[in-house]
Chain A
Amino acid sequence: MSDTLDILSFPLFGISPVQNQIQFPFGYGLHLENYSASSGHYPQVPHEAVPSQLNNQYVADYHSACYSIPVQSVMTPSVGPSMLNTQQSQQLYSGAPHPVESAGGPTQGAISSASHLHTSVPQSYSALSSHYSSLTSSSVASQGFPLSSGHYAMPTVSSAVYPNLSYPSMSIGSPYGQVFTSQSLPAVGQFEETNAFPGQSSTVPRTLPHQVPLGYNSTSWSTSDFQSAQDNFSRNHTGSQAKASSQINTGIVLCMQYGGYVNNQASSAPAPLSSSSDDEEEDEEDEEAETNSATSSPAPTPQTSRAPKPFGYGYPTLQPGYQNTTPSTSAMQPSNPGITVLQCSYFFQQYPGVNQLSSTLGGLSLQHSQQPESLRPVNLTQDRNILPVSPVLAPVPNLNSDLRKLNCSPDSFRCTLTNIPQTQALLNKAKLPLGLLLHPFRDLTQLPVITSSTIVRCRSCRTYINPFVAFIDQRRWKCNLCYRVNDVPEEFMYNPLTRSYGEPHKRPEVQNSTVEFIASSDYMLRPPQPAVYLFVLDVSYNAVEAGYLTIVCQSLLENLDKLPGDSRTRIGFITFDSTVQFYNLQEGLSQPQMLIVSDIDDVFLPTPDSLLVNLHESKELIKDLLNALPNMFTNTRETHSALGPALQAAFKLMSPTGGRISVFQSQLPSLGAGLLHSREDPNQRSSTKVVQHLGPATDFYKKLALDCSGQQTAVDLFLLSSQYSDLASLACMSKYSAGCIYYYPSFHHSHNPAQSEKLQKDLKRYLTRKIGFEAVMRIRCTKGLSIHTFHGNLFVRSTDLLSLANVNPDAGFAVQMSIEESLTDTSLVCFQTALLYTSSKGERRIRVHTLCLPVVTSLADVYAGADVQAAVCLLANMAVDRSVSSSLSDARDALVNAVVDSLSAYISTASNLQQSTLIAPNSLKLFPLYILALLKQKAFRTGTSTRLDDRIYAMCQIKSQPLVHLMKMIHPNLYRIDRLTNEGTIHVNDRVVPQPPLQKLSAEKLTREGAFLMDCGSIFYIWIGKSCDNSFIKDVLGYPNYASVPQKLTQLPELDTVSSERARSFISWLRDSRPLSPVLQVIKDESPAKTDFFQHLVEDRTEAAFSYYEFLLHIQQQICK
């Protein structure tokens, strides 16, 4: 019983699986049998036995503390570690005379009872291990789910390691901490009793049979004595089992496993409901969800196979799905003898009080070890290697681990400050922007989809119920945004997943921060619209010469069947040069009819009914047209482009239904409404002073976009031009109708293969990706916060409501927030986005994301929680607005000032630092680098020749890209790839992916002997040095030597060498991580294209811009001023 034991107990974690595997084979078989039997048992078993206890427990909890979510979130940690914690904390309490009275008491107890603690660890662990065996066994049946990321494991570790250290600080963190303390009250009683029989554990196997009836007795609803006795027993039982481990008769092991298994079933209960990005699967699963909620029949067999999936890896990594385990109590009883029931009840009952506590401890201790790290002062001017070797991760909000696990993924929802300042004054002092970066419609691999007739929402602010609401008691919940107390509707009391009643806090809505509801007809203004696609194609001389038609028609032909939609899907085509041509594709025609409207001043629809046709009914005609289209205009001499009239016609055509208009344009529109004139002066391209014409020249396109948006139509623009075509004006048609913009400068099908390849790939993604129609998105936040500005392709309809005619998975949004009232009466703030849309299958759905963040009062905490990437992205959005409304140089100054202000504010708070050095907190150490990169980005750079359209396109991208892609655009990742090793490789789908370290973006890192890969988001550059290793060129590029490598190489050959395989698997791994497949470009050192590569080396000095070091000096100068 010393520290050594303590240390030893942890390695057990690693050993245990081995133990398990011994048990595993027969355990597995048995468990299967058990399962098959279970469905029959359901009705016969007294359901109340355990749930009743549970209820009691919960009721007590609710009354003692009005915050209830922790109760269930408490359950989230996986069984294994929480077991461990439970025991630890039991001991922890036993030593303390008045466990909950003061924060100091328990700590003392913890220290004094350290020896107990150590003993208990191995015990619980082996119990655990037998439990774990079931996990392993079930994982065999699982479907190979992607591994969850490793950082989930962190809380586990910390909660196991830190408890006694961190407890005193509990009350500091958040009211939750205090709440937990009080909540653990009921649990304490149990512990004390438990400790009254320390020696009993060894004898328990013998007492077991006697105890069994007790388990059933506890069916009686109230007695807490019973409960504790039972707990007591069950604990002992566990302990005994722990000691006896595998020697205990198989029956017990079996029971354990069954318990585990059923847990598992329940824990993965969200899984059957989950939907992947794949539509078909989604539907299938929806049906399951429906059956669940409607009939509450026993879990169908498909669930069996699915159920194990969180388990297999859930235990070691603490995968959230798995942690829902606890809800399952009632489901697990059925086919098991009392033993299991008791045992399981033990698991569950212990949770609310203890595990909560220990997880809080974990969370807090983590925060304490983490805070100094993010606040650690970094001397920017001295630290030359500021860039970490691995990609920067989003900071984790400083919450207790339960909330943290429930919180929304940073990929879909990120805040620039993960610690929200309490007042606007504090925010102003910190000089950091406050805002959200959203990626609401992201492709998700796992998403709980909920079908229920009533969607529970707050009655006053209409917030959807979420994991961060508080259940006051079983019948009422308190909204976490407006603090109104609402009733829990009758239907919500029933949990279809566990088929239990009276556990509203275990519903998937309350267990997941990202959920999707199938909305009822209340959420429809009209019947859900069909998927309608209209293609508006430029067929003037320029367009035909560039040859994009072939690519578009070919892609469309290939993906015609993959277009998202149902049997009602409609499609139509319009082409235009100086006239507008329509295509009658009505079913029954022998071939497509072209109808030409030459009256472009007052364009009309020749045959309104037959231009948009059902895709399935007229498929042959459509195919004929797509095959014919590329050759129809080969001899055209028409150079004019009547884009405006064509768009007006498209709008007329779409307005009855709404849908998506895809516009392909290759030049400046020169006829009819919306004609534009060239505004770019090529001599001004590299001007350092004024960049003009960043705003639109006419409001025609904006008006059109607003009209379209009103009719639920989005306009997507593909601009394929070789010369200036005033993207600033044209982009408006997509900006305000929630469309998207693609730009292919100097596009030519044969002269520019890189661009045409990119178009092909983009089109493939564009045509097949998910799409949501007639969408609206509302962002709600805790009272006191308000939304200041929205960024993205959208139309703001009300202060918090966005109108998105279409929503696509690649669209990102940014929101600036301000603090209107100080947040003194709350310690947590929540943000909720609700995206209501019609799926391509004609279903009305609501996707809800909820993010929860702590409120802090000190400036240091604000800095500790700063998310530098999010802040930079938000600043970039703001700078785009500024450069359009004011001027580019204003925007650039504002960006520099953002760094100067925040760093000087930080330096002034840290009084002990020397004023003369440039210090940044660790959380903001990359801030100057990113801002410098932003200043050198195409959108904001001056002095370097930049075409106006390129600049505008970069700005459009900044506004509409989600954070991950935007960061790559701002600050590309540079890797050295000529010496890929197996060091630190990761395995993805049977492929070994090497993980080379990130290099800083400076020419000093480039060597002539090396080859480097730069990942700019939409394009990959591979730069090959002059004296690059011949083996690399031979093995990876497939050429004998450097000289023979061609200038334009856009693909790596598939060679059968190790280095080639490594390079290719690395590149394809990078590619897979993003929706739009980037183009690869191999650049030789002496090729003219190398400027494209070198312009991204942002740390270097250029003739017009600072190097990183100079920039730092500049900032320092500004601060000292």
Chain B
Amino acid sequence: RARARPRSGPASPALLLPRWPRGAALAAMAFTFAAFCYMLALLLTAALIFFAIWHIIAFDELKTDYKNPIDQCNTLNPTVEKVKKIKRVKIALKLVLPEYLIHAFFCVMFLCAAEWLTLGLNMPLLAYHIWRYMSRPVMSGPGLYDPTTIMNADILAYCQKEGWCKLAFYLLSFFYYLYGMIYVLVSS
């Protein structure tokens, strides 16, 4: 245990691979529920990373739209542009809820697997998600972003920052889950 810990995530599979055949039964060693949770979390986190990138791109596009050198057609083309813009916000909205649900889902999984440390690491984000959704603007449908206030520089900057922070968090947790998965596989 003490030796395994300091090893970094990506390096470990290569180092550990040769040990697999030497272990007892491969099947018995591998698939505990915890390992399954980690594998699932790994896959879902990959999806979340994609969401976060998409989120960042969506807001960046919103912000930098005006830098388009030939935006004449945009000026001329109010309806089309506007519909596009709202749609972009809407897609961002649509991605938000799945993201929250996915994250909440594997938090529950970790809870069931009694992976306290992992759960503890995820709790702040879960709490943030809950808070964020509770304090969303008044709207009848699901969603977070209000197209009328989204262009406010503060909100835009906040959302972008949020996107970057989440991307960083998901990337770190991706490697953590990879490490965790292998660790669980090996240690059992």
* Interface set of A (CB-CB < 8 Å, partner B): 459-460, 462, 522-525, 695-700, 702-703, 706, 709-712, 736, 774, 776, 778, 786-790, 795-801, 803, 816, 818, 836
Selected contact of B153 from candidates A462, A697, A778, A786, CB within 8 Å: A786
Q: At the interface with chain A, which of B28-36, B62-70, B116-124, B174-182? A: B62-70
Q: Do B153 and A789 touch across chains, with their CB atoms under 8 A apart? A: yes
B161 within 8 A of A: no
Report Cα–Cα, A522/B73, bound state, in Å: 8
Which A residues touch B162, using CB under 8 A?
none
Report Cα–Cα, A790/B152, bound state, in Å: 7
Selected contact of A803 from candidates B66, B82, B137, B138, CB within 8 Å: B82
Q: Do A698 and B138 touch across chains, with their CB atoms under 8 A apart? A: yes
Q: Do A800 and B66 touch across chains, with their CB atoms under 8 A apart? A: yes
4 nearest A-B residue pairs (beta carbon):
A796-B151, A788-B153, A699-B139, A798-B65
Report Cα–Cα, A803/B74, bound state, in Å: 12
B75 within 8 A of A: yes
Q: Do B138 and A525 touch across chains, with their CB atoms under 8 A apart? A: no
Selected contact of B63 from candidates A522, A698, A795, A799, CB within 8 Å: A799
Report Cα–Cα, A523/B65, bound state, in Å: 19
Q: Do B80 and A462 touch across chains, with their CB atoms under 8 A apart? A: no
Residue of B nearest to A836 (CB): B75
* Cβ of B188 to closest chain A Cβ, rounded Å: 51
Q: Do B65 and A799 touch across chains, with their CB atoms under 8 A apart? A: yes
Q: Do B78 and A803 touch across chains, with their CB atoms under 8 A apart? A: yes
Which B residues touch A778, using CB under 8 A?
75
Q: Do B140 and A699 touch across chains, with their CB atoms under 8 A apart? A: yes
Residue of B nearest to A711 (CB): B79
In the complex, which range does the number of interface residues on chain B fall in? 20 to 34
Given A789-B153, A818-B153, A702 and B148 contact (CB-CB distance below 8 Å): yes
Give B54-72 as 1s and 0s: 1 = Cβ < 8 Å from A's Cβ atoms: 0000000011111001011
Residue of B nearest to A522 (CB): B76
Q: Do B148 and A796 touch across chains, with their CB atoms under 8 A apart? A: yes
Q: Do B75 and A776 touch across chains, with their CB atoms under 8 A apart? A: yes
User: Is chain B's interface secondary structure helix, strand, loop, or mixed overall?
Assistant: helix
Selected contact of A462 from candidates B62, B72, B86, B148, CB within 8 Å: B72
* Cβ of B140 to closest chain A Cβ, rounded Å: 5
Q: Do B78 and A700 touch across chains, with their CB atoms under 8 A apart? A: no
Residue of B nearest to A776 (CB): B78
- Apart from A523-B75, A709-B82, A797-B151, 10 more pairs, CB < 8 Å: A462-B72, A462-B75, A522-B72, A522-B76, A699-B137, A706-B148, A787-B153, A795-B148, A799-B63, A801-B66
Give B127-140 as 1s and 0s: 1 = Cβ < 8 Å from A's Cβ atoms: 00000000001111
Selected contact of B81 from candidates A523, A706, A797, A799, CB within 8 Å: A797
Which A residues touch B138, using CB under 8 A?
695-699
Which A residues touch B153, using CB under 8 A?
786-789, 799, 816, 818
Selected contact of B66 from candidates A525, A702, A799, CB within 8 Å: A799
Selected contact of A710 from candidates B62, B83, B151, CB within 8 Å: B83
B98 within 8 A of A: no
Which A residues touch B75, using CB under 8 A?
462, 523, 776, 778, 801, 836
Which A residues touch B152, using CB under 8 A?
788-789, 796
Selected contact of B151 from candidates A525, A695, A699, A798, CB within 8 Å: A798
User: Is chain A's interface secondary structure helix, strand, loop, or mixed overall?
Assistant: mixed
24 contacts between A and B (CB under 8 A): A523-B76, A524-B76, A695-B138, A699-B139, A702-B148, A706-B148, A709-B82, A710-B79, A710-B86, A711-B79, A774-B78, A776-B78, A778-B75, A787-B153, A788-B152, A795-B147, A795-B148, A798-B62, A798-B65, A798-B151, A799-B151, A799-B153, A801-B75, A803-B82
Specify which of A695, A711, A798, A836 lies most central, judged by the most chain B CB atoms within 10 Å of its CB: A798
Residue of A nearest to B150 (CB): A796
Report Cα–Cα, A703/B147, bound state, in Å: 10
Given A706-B147, A797-B85, A460 and B69 contact (CB-CB distance below 8 Å): yes
Report Cα–Cα, A462/B62, bound state, in Å: 19
Q: Do A789 and B154 touch across chains, with their CB atoms under 8 A apart? A: yes
Q: Do B140 and A797 touch across chains, with their CB atoms under 8 A apart? A: no
* Cβ of B50 to closest chain A Cβ, rounded Å: 26
Which B residues touch A790, using CB under 8 A?
151
Which A residues touch B71, using CB under 8 A?
462
Residue of B nearest to A885 (CB): B149
Residue of B nearest to A844 (CB): B76
B77 within 8 A of A: yes
* Cβ of B142 to closest chain A Cβ, rounded Å: 12
Residue of A nearest to B84 (CB): A797
Q: Do A525 and B147 touch across chains, with their CB atoms under 8 A apart? A: no
Residue of B nearest to A729 (CB): B138
Q: Do A525 and B76 touch across chains, with their CB atoms under 8 A apart? A: yes
Which A residues touch B154, using CB under 8 A?
788-789
Which A residues touch B64, using CB under 8 A?
799
Which A residues touch B78, using CB under 8 A?
525, 712, 774, 776, 797, 803
Which B residues touch A786, using CB under 8 A?
153
Which A residues touch B72, using CB under 8 A?
462, 522
* Cβ of B133 to closest chain A Cβ, rounded Å: 15
Which A residues touch B140, using CB under 8 A?
698-700, 703
Give B24-45 as 1s and 0s: 1 = Cβ < 8 Å from A's Cβ atoms: 0000000000000000000000
Q: Do B148 and A525 touch across chains, with their CB atoms under 8 A apart? A: no
Report Cα–Cα, A786/B67, bound state, in Å: 12
Report Cα–Cα, A736/B149, bound state, in Å: 10
Q: Do A525 and B65 touch across chains, with their CB atoms under 8 A apart? A: no
Report Cα–Cα, A757/B163, bound state, in Å: 54
